[in-house]
Amino acid sequence: MTTLTAWLRDPSPTSRRQARLGQAYLAWLRLKRNRLAMIGLAIVALLIIVAALAPWIAPHDPITQALRERLQPPLTPGHILGTDDFGRDILSRLIVGSRITLFIIALVAVTAPVFGLIIGTVAGYFGGWTDEILMRITDIFLAFPKLILALALVAVLGPGMENAVLAIAITSWPPYARVARAETLTVRNSDYIAAVRLQGAGAARIIWGHIMPMCIPSVIIRVTLDMAGVILIAAGLGFLGLGVQPPMPEWGAMISAGRKYLFEQWWVATMPGMAIFIVSLGFNLLGDGLRDVLDPRNSGK
């Protein structure tokens, strides 16, 4: 273990692989010193574990109704978090619902940032009329609140998880394009880009192989910080009945179903609301920690 640590900390790496692993190791050490970031990482890791093991750790079927056990309070034997208006175990529905939340997060994270990264780097590298057209399109999307635009898109496409993910992805890419464009403008005239261009590299190779990797740290930070907003938009669509459809246990839809019992059977809506709050907090804490680690301006701290 000591030998591996020394190899990772070697100030004179002998290969590109060693240099990259060494940078990752030092970044991990900086992240570990941030207690709030580690709490956020623990929450996100717990979400992933629970979602992966949901079918095996859920104590009850999240869909099967048991009307004789409806609206049981928390700490009822067999129902730690109580039951809803159809007698379904709330804990089981939260556990299985974590899979839906994680699925939406994952799909948005692999679509919106990639599209925004491509738009931003192309606009920043070419400039001129290309930049003007792409950035004006970006401004049009930024002019609408995300939730309002997502509602409009889902209303056109129809309710459902796939359409909800598509609507969220379409409304989420403009900030990534802005970040990527700003990063591209700072490096496109640098010496190493000029050297690559003199070697005969085309625009596609320069953008894909040299500019995009420079933008990835900023995009990763933005993705982590935006996941809380994605969760809230998905929950908002579910709350309005435009997201995942019943009887699937989506957290926003669970809050919507429990709002009429909020004053007497408070746990029906409060428990999924707490789940959304905790997961959103975890992504925000992790994003703040990653920003401190990956931001080059903080590298010396």
pLDDT of residue 300: 45
In a domain, 276, yes or no: yes
Q: What angle do CA 148, 153, 154 make, to 5 degrees?
A: 100
Count of domains forming the chain? 1
The reply to whether 184 falls in a domain is yes
Q: What tokens appear for 48 in the block?
A: 């992933």
Does some domain include residue 110? yes
The predicted-structure confidence for 217-242, as pLDDT tens digits, reads as follows 888 888 888 888 899 998 988 888 88
Report the CATH number at residue 243. 1.10.3720.10
Residue 66 backbone class (left: φ over 0; alpha: ψ -120 to 50; beta: rest): beta
Does a structural domain hold residue 37? no
Question: In this structure, is residue 52 part of a structural domain?
Answer: no
For residue 187, is it within any domain?
A: yes
Is position 71 within any domain? yes
Report if residue 20 sits inside a domain.
no
Q: Which domain holds residue 112?
A: 63-298
Low-confidence ranges of the chain (pLDDT < 50): 299-301
Q: Rounded to two decimals, what is the model's pTM?
A: 0.86
What pLDDT, on a 0 to 100 scale, did the predictor assign at position 296?
Answer: 54
pLDDT of residue 297: 55
